[in-house]
């Protein structure tokens, strides 16, 4: 079986393999034999998890140069691996880094690229959910090594244990990669919650939250469910919540198991970022708000009443 | 300092976007075309850098005839000149071909900075700035929430899942900017009038030294097999809160095994 090259991502702090990587491995097994590429340290510890989900090898590139320069060193290594392994396909996460790696790798290896796939079948036909989830598209790469970026929460990860060998790769980083230098990494934002695009549960607040202090009850509800916090553009534009948490057409696209929209009217711009969520719950005092069209369960009521009581209920029920 | 800003005309955010059954390409004619919102931030950033350091701003766009409006919009904001790559052969081009066309239009013009919006609101791929940097062999400083130019260096803050990374390169470089990096100006009446007189060069694919057969839908390296509208969602349960809304919602979440 031909190898399928998977870019394995891990949490920068804990070194833990990201859930999206396990999803990619699950999809990769339909196309061939998954092998991973790993950037930075920690491949040895991760190899057991990668093997559990079917990776037979992990190619570890852990020189400091890999992380001293953005994006391009990863492309240098993956170009070499594509030449060496002739994989049936390359799968990378739909993160900012992942998409840029995919784009540059496509140019370098003269290959077609499909971004934001939500599924890929055994024939390499990708499913995409476009225009804010209103249209489902099936497409295929027709030239070169098919390169796909895959959205988080696309498929449930399924284990398929095998033995994963760790191989160190030494690829000289190109002069092109060295043109840009990372000089500092700053941690900002609200720590301690799952990453927004990867979270199984997202609790969002919009204009109805009323102000920055109103987000305290949104955060409390998110924490009671172990979820991430999102915000509509109205809320981030008003400065009530940091911009990086904006869900919508010009923000993050999320596809969690459960999305709770609080005080969000549901303009196209917001729906584009959350329409593919599996279960949608709405709390809004305006019964006419278009977001109710997407609701599996909706409560017409004041979120300042409903949300704190819901958090109480959840904390009560889960103890 | 010579700055290029690459912009794209996209269907208005509020418009219904559909694919055409004939060739599975975006129906651009049925919706109003607007300057891609994230590109407005790119134009504004270019203007601010040119104002602070001196220099001129060139707007570069690839698109159908109507995309000329988008070039004018950027000129009315204050850019100095425009380049519009217009050719029937470009219809249905993928990101690979688009990046080749833009790179050809930008090459050899000695731009110090090439600025993009970080994604278009129609295709949402976020790959073209990286592809253009790859093709031109320039430093890539993308997803910037802040850009500063000091002497011959450019430094950005790249937005990450953790916060941001500070990244530096020598000019020339390719930069892409995220939403909210600045407050894009509205074109003034004077700006709109002045834009009508600003030079816009219209180039065909052959003018860029590219083969028409290397661009467009037939040359794309990926192809749509089929598409369909998402089936409408079945109506859910909606209750009015009479003091019991939270309890009923908690019961629903328990049934769905979220609690």
Q: Print the SS3 string covering chain A.
A: CCEEEEEECECCCCCCECHHHHHHHHHHHHHCEEEEEEECCCHHHHHHHHHHCCCCEEEEECCCHHHHCCCHHHHHHHHHHHHHHCCCEEEEECCHHHHHHHHHHHHHHCCCEEEEEEEECCCCCEEEEECCCCEEEEEEECCCCCEEEECCCCCCCCCCCCCCEEEECCCCCCHHHHCEEEEEEEECCCCCCCCCCCCCEEEEECHHHCCHHHHHHHHHHHHHHCCEEEECHHHHHCCCCCHHHEECCCCECCCCCEEEEECCCCCHHHHCCCCCCCEEEEEECCCCCHHHHHCCEEEECCHHHHHHHHHHHHHHHCC
**Is A196 among the domain residues?**
no
**Is A260 among the domain residues?**
yes
Q: Is the pLDDT of residue B53 over 80?
A: yes
Residues of B in contact with A246 (CB under 8 A): 179
pLDDT 10s digits, A247-305: 998 889 999 999 999 999 999 889 989 998 999 999 999 999 999 999 999 999 999 99
Q: Is the pLDDT of residue B204 over 80?
A: yes
Q: State the Cα–Cα distance between residues A222 and A165, nearest whole angstrom.
A: 39
Residues 6+ apart with CB under 8 A from B232: none
**Is A271 among the domain residues?**
yes
Predicted local confidence at residue A13, as pLDDT: 87
Predicted local confidence at residue A190, as pLDDT: 64
- pLDDT tens digit at each of 319 positions of chain A: 899 999 999 998 889 999 999 999 999 999 999 999 999 999 999 999 999 999 999 999 999 999 999 999 999 999 999 999 999 999 999 999 999 999 999 999 999 999 999 999 999 999 999 988 889 999 999 999 999 999 999 999 999 999 999 999 999 999 999 999 999 999 887 677 998 999 999 999 999 999 999 999 999 999 999 999 999 999 999 999 988 899 998 889 999 999 999 999 999 889 989 998 999 999 999 999 999 999 999 999 999 999 999 999 999 987 6
Q: Does residue A210 share a domain with residue A66? A: no
Q: Does residue A216 share a domain with residue A134? A: no
pLDDT 10s digits, B123-136: 999 999 999 999 99
**Is A193 among the domain residues?**
no
Q: State the Cα–Cα distance between residues B226 and A140, nearest whole angstrom.
A: 10
Q: Does residue A64 share a domain with residue A160? A: yes
Residues of A in contact with B256 (CB under 8 A): 258, 279
Report CB contact under 8 Å: A112, B94: yes
Q: Does residue A225 share a domain with residue A128? A: no
Query: Shortest Cα distance from A305 to chain B (angstroms)?
Result: 8
Query: Shortest Cα distance from B24 to chain A (angstroms)?
Result: 9
**Is A192 among the domain residues?**
no
**Is A186 among the domain residues?**
no
**Is B34 among the domain residues?**
yes
Q: Does residue A207 share a domain with residue A167? A: no
Query: Shortest Cα distance from B179 to chain A (angstroms)?
Result: 7
| Under 8 Å between Cβ of A32 and A74 | no
CATH number assigned to the domain comprising residue A311: 3.40.50.1220
**Is A114 among the domain residues?**
yes
Backbone angles phi, psi at B12, to 5 degrees: -50, 140
Report CB contact under 8 Å: B166, A186: yes
Predicted local confidence at residue A319, as pLDDT: 61
CATH number assigned to the domain comprising residue A123: 3.40.50.620
Say how many domains are in chain B: 1
Q: Does residue A208 share a domain with residue A144? A: no
Q: Does residue A270 share a domain with residue A126? A: no
**Is B51 among the domain residues?**
yes
Q: Does residue A168 share a domain with residue A271? A: no
Residues 6+ apart with CB under 8 A from B26: B11, B17, B18, B19, B20, B122, B123
Task: Sort B152 into a burial class: Cβ within 10 Å, 0-12 / 13-18 / 19+.
Answer: exposed
Q: Does residue A212 share a domain with residue A172? A: no
The DSSP call for residue B23 is: T
Backbone angles phi, psi at B46, to 5 degrees: -60, -45
**Is A15 among the domain residues?**
yes
Residue A29 CA, chain-centre distance (Å), reads: 20
Whether B249 has its CB under 8 Å from any CB of chain A: the answer is yes
Predicted local confidence at residue B206, as pLDDT: 97
| Under 8 Å between Cβ of B69 and B17 | no
- Strand order across the beta sheet in which B173-177 lies: A180-187, B163-170, B153-159, B139-150, B173-177, B113-117, B2-7, B56-62, B81-85, B200-203
Residues of A in contact with B133 (CB under 8 A): 104
A90 is in which domain, residue-wise? Answer: 3-178
Alpha-carbon torsion angle B112, B119, B142, A277, nearest 10: 180
Of A243, A27, A49, residue with least CA distance to A151: A27
Residues of B in contact with A185 (CB under 8 A): 160, 162-166
């Amino acid at each position: 079986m031909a190898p399928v090259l998977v870019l394995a991502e891990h949490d920068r702090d804990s070194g833990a393999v990201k859930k999206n990587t396990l999803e990619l491995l699950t999809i990769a097994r339909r196309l061939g034999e998954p092998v991973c590429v790993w950037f930075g340290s920690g491949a040895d510890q991760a190899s057991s998890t990668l093997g559990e989900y079917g990776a037979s090898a992990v190619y570890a590139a852990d020189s400091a140069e890999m992380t001293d320069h953005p994006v391009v060193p990863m492309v240098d290594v993956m170009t070499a691996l594509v030449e060496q392994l002739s994989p049936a396909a390359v799968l990378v996460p739909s993160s900012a880094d992942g998409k840029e790696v995919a784009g540059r790798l496509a140019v370098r290896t003269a290959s077609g690229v499909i971004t934001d796939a939500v599924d890929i079948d055994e024939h390499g036909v990708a499913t995409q959910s476009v225009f804010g989830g209103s249209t489902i598209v099936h497409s295929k790469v027709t030239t070169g090594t098919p390169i796909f970026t895959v959205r988080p929460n696309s498929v449930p990860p399924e284990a398929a244990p095998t033995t994963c060998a760790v191989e160190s790769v030494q690829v000289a980083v190109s002069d092109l990669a060295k043109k840009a230098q990372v000089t500092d990494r700053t941690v900002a934002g609200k720590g301690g919650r799952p990453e927004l695009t990867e979270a199984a549960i997202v609790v969002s607040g919009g204009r109805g939250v009323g102000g920055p202090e109103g987000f305290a009850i949104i955060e409390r509800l998110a924490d009671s469910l172990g979820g991430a916090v999102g915000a509509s553009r109205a809320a981030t534009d008003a400065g009530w919540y940091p911009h990086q948490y904006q869900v919508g057409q010009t923000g993050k696209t999320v596809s969690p198991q459960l999305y709770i929209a609080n005080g969000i009217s549901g303009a196209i711009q917001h729906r584009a970022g959350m329409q593919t969520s599996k279960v949608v719950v709405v709390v809004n005092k305006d019964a006419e708000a278009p977001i109710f069209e997407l609701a599996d369960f909706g409560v017409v009521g004041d979120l300042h009443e409903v949300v704190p009581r819901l958090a109480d209920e959840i904390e009560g029920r889960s103890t | 300092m010579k700055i290029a800003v690459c912009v794209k005309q996209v269907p208005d955010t509020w418009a219904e976007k559909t694919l055409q059954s004939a060739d599975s390409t975006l129906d651009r004619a049925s919706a109003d075309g607007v300057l891609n919102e994230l590109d407005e931030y790119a134009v504004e950033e270019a203007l601010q850098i040119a104002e602070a350091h001196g220099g001129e701003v060139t707007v570069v766009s690839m698109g159908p005839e109507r995309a000329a409006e988008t070039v004018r919009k950027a000129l009315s904001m204050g850019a100095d000149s425009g380049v519009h790559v217009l050719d029937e052969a470009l219809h249905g081009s993928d990101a690979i071909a688009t990046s080749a066309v833009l790179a050809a239009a930008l090459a050899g013009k000695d731009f110090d900075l090439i600025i993009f919006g970080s994604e278009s609101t129609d295709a949402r791929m976020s790959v073209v700035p990286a592809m253009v940097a790859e093709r031109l062999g320039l430093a890539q400083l993308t997803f910037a929430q802040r850009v500063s130019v000091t002497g011959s260096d450019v430094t950005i803050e790249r937005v990450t899942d953790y916060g941001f990374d500070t990244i530096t390169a020598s000019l020339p470089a390719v930069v892409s900017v995220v939403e909210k990096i600045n407050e894009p100006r509205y074109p003034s009446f004077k700006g709109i009038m002045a834009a009508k007189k600003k030079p816009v060069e219209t180039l065909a694919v052959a003018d860029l030294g590219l083969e028409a057969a290397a661009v467009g839908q037939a040359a794309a390296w990926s192809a749509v097999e089929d598409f369909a509208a998402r089936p409408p969602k079945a109506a859910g349960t909606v209750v009015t809160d009479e003091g019991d809304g939270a309890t009923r919602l908690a019961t629903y979440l328990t049934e769905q095994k979220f609690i």
